[in-house]
Each structure stands twice: as C-alpha cells, then as structure tokens.
Structure 1
C-alpha cells in the first residue's frame, strides 16, 4: 500500500518536473529591431563626408539617407551598405554645405527606425585664381574652386580636364571674365547627374545677376558660310580681350572635347550691339565633340548659340535667359534632340554689361548675316540643323513685344523642326520670314512637322511667309494652357531666396495624363530629314522633350533660382 502510494507520488513529481521543464525555453530572446548606434559624420574636405557606426546585431544590411541643410528638405537614399560595413564615404557633395544623415538597420524581420540624424558641414574649398592662359595639359579637381580672372584661353593644342563636381566661378571685378577653348585645344568636362560641373557667378546666392561673368566659348575647326576673317562676338575690347577668329575651318568632324552634365549660370557679356558672349558659345565646333546634359541658367544673352560647324547635342536645358534659348546660324548642320527652354520674365542685367534684349525667342535661326556673306542670304553651306523633341515655354505677356515667338526662321535658313512643343508665346508659334527662307522649303531642306502650339494666339506670324501647317501636323491649341501639358509647371514663379522660392524641383516636364502631346509625334522619318537625322536622332510617337516611358533626364542636376521680382 505504501509502495503504491509512493509510486503515484513519484510519478506525479516526474510529470510536474517534465511540465516545468517544458515551460522553460532554452532559446535566446529574439533581437529587438533597434536602430544602429554610434553613428558619426566627419567632413573629409570640400566635397566628401565619412560616415561611421557601430556594427548592429543580426542585420542583413543598412539604409543610409542624406538631406541638405540643417532643417527641412527631403531625405534621399545615398547607399545600402552591406551587413559587414561600419563606414561609408559620401562623395560629390557641395562645398561649405550642411548635410544631415540618418541610418537604419535592415533585418529579416524588417527595417529598424532610423537612428538620430547627424549633421556635418563640408569645408570651404581653396580658391585657385586662373590669371594666365592654359597652354599645357591641365586638370582641375573638385577639391578646389577655380576663379577665371579675365579672358582666359585653353590654347597651344592643350587639354583642360575638369573633374565631376568641380565649381568654377567668373571673376566679378573683371567684367566679362570668360573661358575660351581655342581651335586645336580641348576641354574634357565629364560631370555626373549627382556631381555636375558648374560654371557660375562669384557673387553670393541671391546677389547674382545675368552678366556677372562672360561665359564658356568653344572654337573648333568646323565650317562656316562667311568668308574672310570672322571674330567671336564680344572679343576685341582690350589687350586683355583681343579679337579671336573662328572662320577658315575645314573639318566639320573636328573634336573639341566633351561637355557632359555641365551648368553655366549668370553668364553673358555685350560690349556692343550684336556682339555678345553667351552662356554657351559653340563656334565652328565639329561633330567629334560630345555635348550631353547641359544647362544654361539666368544668362544675359543666348543660352546656347551655334555658329556654323556640325556638333550634335542632346539633353539641353535653358532656364531664364536674356535673349534666345537656342540660336543657330552661319551654316550650322548639327543635330539637337531633347531640348527644354523656360522663360517667366526678362531679367535685369548686371550694370555695365549691355542692354536687355528687345526680341527674345525660343529658337532663332539665320542663314547668313553680316560681313563675308558673299551670296547674301544664299551663302553656303546653308544652315540646316535637325531639331527634335523640344519643349519651349515662353513668358507670355511678361516678355517684350518685339519677341514672343516660339521660333523665328529667317535670312535663308533651313532645317527640320519636328516633334516639339511651343507654349505661352505672346505673338505666334512660328515667325517664318523672307523669300530665301521659303526657298529652302521648296528645295526640301526645310520642314516643320508634328509640333504642338499651345496658349499662343497664332501658329504663324501674320504678314510673313505661308506654311501648310495642317498638312504637316502642326497643331494650334489656343485654349490649352502650358501648365496643363506637363506633370508640374509653376504658373507663378516665386522669387528666391525666400521662404518658398521656386526651385528646380518645381519643374516636372513629364507629360500629364491628359496632355495632347502624348501622341501626334512623327515616329518614322523620310527624305532629307531621315538622311540628316542618321542614327543620332530617332522619331518618336510623342511630342516634346520628355518620353512618357523613360526616366526624367533633367532631374537631379539642373538648377533654378530667380532672385528678381
């Protein structure tokens, strides 16, 4: 009896022990999804920051984000460091700029909250004064700022190489300070979307004006249609700024180098009427030269001007220029595709650099004009560019009465203008002038096809040459506003700096869902257009500079600032 009771008691004790053992787990507690610790940010100089942190437990990686400024602004992802990483160097930053960083840990269970943000200020770079011409192969690095003092030349068949992220300023004290790349020399300026190369004013932000410095001028060995000695406009004003010829070239395949992701801001110089330096001047530049992803901002005269030659270009942006966004003449036969031009007003220039233009246009093309036009407007080679997929928005009533045309063709010019948009022009989409220009149409080397004209009273300037816009699919939609064509376009541009100044982020040139420009493009080229377009320019089913199915190519590297009301 006692033995039986003992067995039951022992069995009960054993069951209880097993039950207690089962309640006690030998597995470790699951790690908390805590943010990383020990995050620090240290400036490595003018354009780089070193991030470091303590290794976190059980991570599969990290997410590192950056914002500009001590407050506000949106964070963007910079990198996804590996699980084993405890540091990262962020490069291509702006000098003397405050940045904020935050780091999150990625685990199988999910992503942790971000660690407390850390702030760091990049150092101000050393300023290198360029006071002499460049006559040997030279490299400018992003760790310095280069000040162009006077009218400096890249000469003697030398090459100037400029690193991505480099900043170049024009000397304010020497009016018209400019950089010339002379015939036989080259410039290799390869910026990136995250680290563009910037030529700009030496003045503080908010104090800049168009004409704070001269601009970037490239002179090649290409062909123009003027005989004799023809000099770069704006030169010959002093011994410091002697006359520089660009005539006499014989090689339209000449190579003057590469410009890629380059901005020119607050440039221009006009010592005399019709003698101006532009933001970008391409004089007799050959097709061996590479031009891609370039922006002119707040220039005094033209944004991009092509005098003869055959250089091709893609992805050109002009925001707020004093005269024409795109100007071609003197036998230019290059090809341009994906162009954006935006104008909200005509700015006041820096005093002493020239007067404000009375007739700014979106595109202004000439055949031959001035000395050396031996056959007047019939001088050859004719100006016959291919200009495709352009988006040009004018200032409307804010512009002068003498301008206000999306495009002006005159003085015997030719060319093919296709798949574009002109919007918000005061007078007309197209100014089609003089009999010599009309003769190019008759010869089959001038066409205007598959373009949309919006928020503009007329397709063609009254009293000038006739053109069959219907047969060429040039559509006028007077009641369609410029703003309705695009995903985001500021209808009221706000002056900066200010609490809510307009910035580049306020422009999204993607076509809106209901935009009539989504269709109506010329997808298949024929005839002279096909021959001249070659493999460089392809037809599109849409009109304008933004492919609805492609990335927003203008984002991240372009700039906008308006500091005048």
Structure 2
C-alpha cells in the first residue's frame, strides 16, 4: 500500500486525493470528511483504504474502519477526538449524525499507536461545552486533555458515553459457532450498526497481530449506536498474541473498561477507572495473559452514584449460546498482579467479581480491597447452565477442584460477610468464594493456596490516615501502593508462569515501595489530574 503522511496543511491528503485543507475544526483535522463514505450514504460509516499517519489533532465523525492490509499510524502526543452521536428518537434508522466517532481496526488491518510516559496518545470526545457535536469556533468540553483532563462529572452530568470507542478485531480463535458468518470461530462484534466483514472477528491464527497500543489513554467513551449493543473503552475481538498492548488507561466510559471476546492477546500495565459497568469483562474463550491491572471501582463523594463500576471483573468461560461444536476454547487466561478496590461509597448492586460458565485459568498475586456487605461481592457461580452434559466438560466448581482454575496468593481485604450458597444472588460473597479465599486450609481446591483474608487498609497511606482511603477529590487521594506488611507479601507468592510475565515480588499491580514511581505516572488521566499519586509516599515526581 502507498504510504501517505497527512499534516494540517493545504497539501495534506489521503492517497485517494481528498484534501484535508477545508476540513478543520478548532485546529483539528476532520479525518472522515476526506474519506469516501461507504455502505449506505448518510449512515456515518467510513473506510481508511490506504496507509495513513494521523495528524497530531484529529476528529472522527463516525464509524471509521482501518481496512485489511492498511496501517494506521498515530504519533506520540496525538489527540484523537470522536464526535458524540445525536439521538433523533427514531430507533429504526441510524443516520450519520447519530453515529458517534469510533475507530475500528478490522481483521488484517494494523494500528501503530505508541505514545510515551510523558507524551501519551489520548482518545477523547469532540463534544462541545453543551455536550453536542462540535462545529468550528465552539469550545471543546474536554478542552485541555493533556494538562487538565475532564473530571468524571461536569456538575451532575457524568462525562461518559461522549463518543464511540476503540475496537481491535483479529483472526485469533474464539468459541463462536459461526452463526453470524457461517464460519466456526467467527462472529460480529457488538456495538455497530453494520454487520459485515468490517465488524467480523475470530479465526485460526493465535499469533495474529493487530499492531501496537502503548501509552494510550482512552477517555469518555461508550456511546451506543445500536440499542443494547454497547461500545466499551477498548474492545478486543479475536485479537492475537502478536499484538502489543501495554500501558493503556481507560477513564470514564459508559460500559465496560476493556472487554475481550476470545483471542490470545496479552495485556500489561492497565488502569481502569470510572466505568459504568465492569472494569475487565472476559468472554468467548480468551486464553491470553494479563499483568499489572489496576481497577478503581467506586463513587465520588458528593456526586451522583452513576459513574462507578458495577464490578471489577465479569469472567465468562463460554458466554452463553452460539458456541462451537465442542464449546471450546473456554476462557482460561493467566492474570497476575491485580490491584482492585471499591470507592468510599462502595460499588454498585451487581457483583464486584463474577466468575462463571466454565471459566478456567489462573488469578495470582493480587489484592482485592473493600467489597462491602449487602452486595454481591466475590461471586463464583457453578450451575447446570454450564453445559457439562452437552460438551462433556467440567463446570466452574469442577475446574476449581481439578486444578484447571486457580486463585492463589491473593489478598482479600475488607470483604464483608460469608452468606449464601453456590448459586445465590445476594450477599457479599458466596460459599464457593469463601472456601477459595480460605486458601491453604481448604483441601477441595488444590490450586487455591496462600490466599489471605483480612480487615483494614492494605495501602501505603493507611498507617497514618486510618480508615481514610481512596479520596477521589483531594490531591494524592488515591494511593494503591501496598503498605509494607499489610499486603501479606511475607506470604509466598506464585512465581511467574511463562515467558510473558516479568518477575516481581509484590502482590498487586504496584511495587511495595514508597519511593518507587508508579507505572501510571505522567500519562494516565487520574495521575495528570493529581488525584492518583506519583509514588507511594505522595512525592510529586511529575507535576500535574
């Protein structure tokens, strides 16, 4: 493919010759205005058909697809904005004005988006200060995302669902039955009006690559196009292990932070905060790895209780109907070094952690903090819906018992209550989870050892601040660094399993040291706002 570099000049153009010169809004190049509109005219569906480097400041009008064989390059420091959709009240049609700006890398397409810790790539909303679609001369709602990120609320309005999202689609395996495309392992990704090759994911290439995302912050996403089909912050559909996904920040989204539909992708250094559903949602046979995942799940004092995670995790082994003939692959990742805690008011009414439908794999060396009583907390479901008879495979509880699902060397702190049975839908956590948490004293689950259950604050500032934690309004109010001794690091941790994982000694996503700089410093929205510490001792290493 011909390589085309587009700058904000009169000469800037795509390979097809459409100039950008007359398509500038507030100094941002309107990318889609220079692309040939495809499918049904007026629907807001656009294609990038040849290699393209985005301008440093860009706007997406609608669903923008990076087509097979094409490489989209996003330079360090770029701000890419998506227009919000406008609901005209007619659910039977989708117009260009209703379609929010979204970026989709199709199967066979490639994105190269490598920011740095001091110059991240930011995906955010193009909404004006009335939360409508921007036109030239108006003021962006998120006016200064590099230095003054938009807070979670503007007055009583939650700053979420203000554009589409980022979606990567690949050829790696899933457990879909092919009912969408007639090909086993394939499906249409949720969230888009068009169901065709551009929204298809899955295949037979576990090492497939969709490109690279590093030091990328995705903010204020999640606008729906089709009722009931949400867009996340980042969606990975059938993405392969050849894709580089590290240092990714999801901030304020209307649905999940990251949802993974099958595939083999690996993720590292992931921060997820202020999402309105699950932080990390796993479906359809994901068998990749994750290390260093920080999920902040909580309400902001004095603000409406709408911008908060319903839960840290929703892990589904096979995700309902439309399964492959064998039901495989079942979701079975290895996840190491999670730090997840709810806020001062607590999480929502849905389970904070839900694990069900034949989920397998491993969760190691992690900290789960502040799951209040009266909610569905740490919830492991094992029921007849797991299709043991149909597919001849074990259910979730069986997988715990036979060692193909393990939760080990994890700290559960401030998790209230032990009520309920294996399938109950009330209570803080069910008896299966309670037995797992019991760890070494429970012989039923041989791979669930060295887990600890405690009360109190396990984080660095707990010794001096007492019961105060996770103040999301004060400078340095969020400090996820483990307090020496409080994170049970004296208990044996699981050694790194496999070549993907980096050797670390702590439980949780951050080094147990007051002076160590957090990997979130300098580029995540919460850190730039000054709410998340630069280091455990609250030193200002990088000024907000």
Could you tell me the TM-score, scaled by structure 2's length?
0.69
Q: Write out aligned runs for 1:8-19 (5 A).
A: none
- Structure 2 CA distance, aligned partners of 1:348 and 1:370? 38
- CA-CA distance at 1:210 after TM superposition: 0.6
For 1:365, what is the secondary structure of its paired residue?
A: strand
What residue is the counterpart of 2:498 in the other structure? Answer: 534
Structure 2 residue aligned with 1:146: 58
Partner of 1:161: 73
What does the per-residue CA deviation read over 1:65-119, in whole Å, with 9 as the maximum and x for residues that have no partner? xxxxxxxxxxxxxxxxxxxxxxxxxxxxxxxxxxxxxxxxxxxxxxxxxxxxxxx
Report how many aligned residue pairs link the two structures: 415
Q: Which residue of 1 aligns with 2:510?
A: 546
The residue number in structure 1 matching 2:269 is 315
User: Does 1:451 find its partner at 2:410?
Assistant: yes
Q: Is 1:431 aligned to residue 379 of structure 2?
A: yes
Q: Indicate the residue corresponding to 2:399 in structure 1.
A: 440
Of Structure 1 and Structure 2, the greater strand share is in 1
Q: 1:511 offset after TM fit, Å?
A: 2.3
Shift of 1:510: 2.5
Q: Tell me, what secondary structure is at the counterpart of 1:164?
A: coil
Among 227, 243, 251, the alignment partner of 2:177 is 227
Shifted more, 145-154 versus 506-515: the winner is 506-515
CA distance in 1, matches of 2:376, 2:409: 16
Q: Would the alpha carbon gap of residues 202 and 357 (structure 1) be closer, same or farther in structure 2, given more than 3 Å must change? A: closer
**Higher mean C-alpha deviation, range 389-398 or range 336-345:** 389-398
Using a 3 Å threshold, how does the CA distance of structure 1 residues 539 and 440 change in structure 2: closer, same or farther?
A: farther
CA distance in 2, matches of 1:554, 1:154: 29
Match of 1:215 in 2: 165
Deviations 1:34-78 (A, max 9, x none): xxxxxxxxxxx99xxxxxxxxxxxxxxxxxxxxxxxxxxxxxxxx
How far did 1:512 drift?
A: 2.7
TM-fit CA distance, 1:251: 0.5
How far the C-alpha of 1:125 sits from its partner, in A, is 4.0
How far residue 545 of structure 1 moved from its aligned partner, in angstroms, is: 0.5
Query: For 2:396, what is the secondary structure of its paired residue?
Result: helix
**Shift of residue 389, structure 1, vs aligned partner:** 0.4
1:134 is matched with 48
* Separation in 1, partners of 2:160, 2:492: 36
Q: Does structure 1 retain, via aligned residues, the 8 Å contact 2:84–2:223?
A: no
**CA deviation vs aligned residue, 1:471-527 (integer Å, no higher than 9, x gap):** 112211134466756999853322xxxxxxx56x543432234533443351435xx
Match in the other structure for 1:352: none
Could you tell me how far apart the structure 1 residues matched to 2:521 and 2:271 are? 11
RMSD: 3.4
Matching of residue 493 in structure 1 with residue 493 in structure 2: no
Task: Quote the residue 1:187 is aligned against.
Answer: 111
Q: In the alignment, what sits opposite 1:364?
A: 314
Kindly indicate whether the alpha-carbon contact (under 8 Å) linking 1:223 and 1:250 is maintained by their aligned counterparts in 2.
yes
Instruction: Structure 1 unaligned segments of length 5 or more: list them.
Output: 1-44, 47-123, 350-354, 495-501, 526-532
Shift in CA distance, 384/298, structure 1 to aligned 2, threshold 3 Å: same
Which residues of structure 2 form unaligned runs of 5+? 1-6, 9-25, 36-46, 86-96, 128-140, 143-149, 181-186, 384-394, 419-427, 441-448, 532-544
Equivalence map 1:141-540=2 (5 Å): 141-142=55-56, 145-173=57-85, 174=97, 175-203=99-127, 204-205=141-142, 207=154, 209-228=159-178, 229=180, 230-236=187-193, 244-271=198-225, 275-345=229-299, 360-374=310-324, 379-395=327-343, 397-403=345-351, 405=352, 407-426=353-372, 427=375, 430-435=378-383, 436-458=395-417, 461-462=429-430, 464=432, 466-467=435-436, 469-471=438-440, 472-480=449-457, 484=461, 491-494=470-473, 502=474, 505-524=476-495, 533-538=497-502, 540=504
Distance in structure 1 (CA, Å) of the matches to 2:50 and 2:482: 47
CA distance 1:244–1:478, change in 2 (3 Å): farther
Return the offset for 1:275.
2.1
Q: Per the alignment, do residues 156 and 523 of structure 1 end up closer, same or farther by CA in structure 2, a change over 3 Å counting?
A: closer
Whole-Å separation in 1 of the counterparts to 2:464 and 2:52? 43
SS in 2 for 1:442: helix
Looking at structure 2, the residues matched to 127 and 493 of structure 1 have their Cα atoms a distance apart, in angstroms, of 34
